[in-house]
Homo-oligomer: A and B are copies of this chain.
Amino acid sequence: MIISTIGSHSALQLLYGAKQEKLKTKVYCLEGKEALYRRYPVAGEIITLSSYEDLLNLKPERDEIFIPHGTLITALGEKISEIPFKIFGNREGMIWEMQRKKNIKLLENAGIRTPKTFSPNEIKSLSIVKFPGAKGGAGYFLCSSSDEFEEKLSEILSSKTITEEDAKTTQIQEYITGVTMYPHYFHSLIYDRVEMLGIDRRYETNADALGRLSQNQTAINPSYKVVGNQPLIARESLLPQILDYGDRLITASQKLFPPGLIGPFCIEMAITPEEIVAFEFTSRIVAGTSLYISGSPYSKFLFGDEMSMARRIARELKMAMGQKRLEEFLS
């Protein structure tokens, strides 16, 4: 078996985890991006692509299994369904991840609390305004009333941060004043269970820099570009609900797009003093799992040895092959 992926996001982990399980590895890199995978020597083979679209025309090796991650989704969007590779997991899940309405629909079908959404004239409490149409989430702002919304929207339009076109995709969401938590789940078909293997919080610029400013500084609008991850454990009494959210998401996914989510997934959460609120789900490995190359406190309870998410994937695939069930895991 050869484990392959594209060179970005969590590729170092994915390749290293496969190596730990004695599998062969291959990484597809954009031209100029190969160096990282030479400096950290985790790839058995490095293939150079001139663009990610090349993936659509490649002929994979017979026993090659491709592990998708966030960069694949950003790079190919819905063309993901045309990739001529055997992909670990359910491609349909990735489509549900990338379409905002489907993403929320899955959470709601799972009975998971999500933020309320408002129309411009309904804003009465702290809300976050997003423009899914704009590039890279540009122009996000916070406001607490309809007047403040109108004022800030004109401001941001006149600054050309977003276009009139982008403004048509405006989405107004209840701002959850809670701390974020990103549990790393793994749906194992081999063991027929959902495992929770680690938790991180995302380190976002400039949002995570604002708290270090004195309160009397010029107001700065937060932005939320993820540039890193920090390790975290959850209060033990929260774990039952966190695990329950994972179970529910799997059950709902099996109804909405059978056979549902397979392998790694994430539910992005904020925790307030009263409740756990989910923003979105992710249908594949998240980058924060790379904190736990040597295992996390949670993976330790389950596996004892050093079990990263990547190694967990490789282990599952090896067992699937041993049981001649590999086809169930691929799409």
Residues of A near any B CB (own CB < 8 A): 8-13, 16, 33, 35-36, 39-42, 71, 126, 142, 144, 177-181, 193, 195, 199, 201, 203-223, 225-240, 243, 270-273, 287, 290-295, 297-298, 300-302
Contacts and interface: CB of A to CB of B under 8 A. Distances in A.
A211 B144 CA distance: 17
Contact of A214 (B39, B212, B220, B236): B220
Copy number of this protein in the oligomer?
3
A216 B219 contact: yes
Given A221-B214, A230-B230, A178 B209 contact: yes
Nearest to A276: B227
Contact of A203 (B35, B179, B217, B298): B179
B204 A236 contact: no
Contacts of A270: 209
Contact of A229 (B209, B233, B300): B233
A291 B204 CA distance: 21
A214 B205 contact: no
Given A219-B215, A221-B214, A35 B240 contact: yes
A142 B216 CA distance: 10
A236 B287 contact: yes
A41 B301 CA distance: 7
28 contacts: A8-B236, A9-B237, A36-B239, A39-B243, A40-B298, A126-B217, A144-B217, A177-B213, A178-B205, A178-B206, A179-B209, A180-B209, A181-B227, A208-B211, A213-B215, A214-B220, A214-B222, A215-B215, A223-B273, A225-B273, A227-B271, A230-B232, A235-B287, A292-B297, A293-B297, A293-B301, A294-B294, A294-B300
A269 to B, nearest CB: 10
A302 B295 CA distance: 17
Given A40-B301, A126-B220, 4 more contacts: A12-B301, A126-B218, A205-B271, A227-B271
A271 B209 CA distance: 9
Nearest to A32: B240
Given A205-B273, A231-B231, A211 B212 contact: yes
Given A144-B217, A144-B218, A193-B39, A236 B181 contact: no
Contacts of A41: 301-302
A299 to B, nearest CB: 9
Contacts of A232: 203, 228-230
Nearest to A200: B233
A180 B212 CA distance: 11
B227 A222 contact: no
Contacts of A205: 178-179, 271-273
Query: 10 nearest interchain CB pairs?
Result: A211-B211, A216-B219, A40-B301, A293-B297, A207-B212, A225-B273, A179-B205, A293-B300, A223-B273, A177-B206
A177, A220, A223 — most chain B CB neighbours (10 Å): A177
B210 A212 contact: yes
A204 B209 CA distance: 12
A193 B208 CA distance: 33
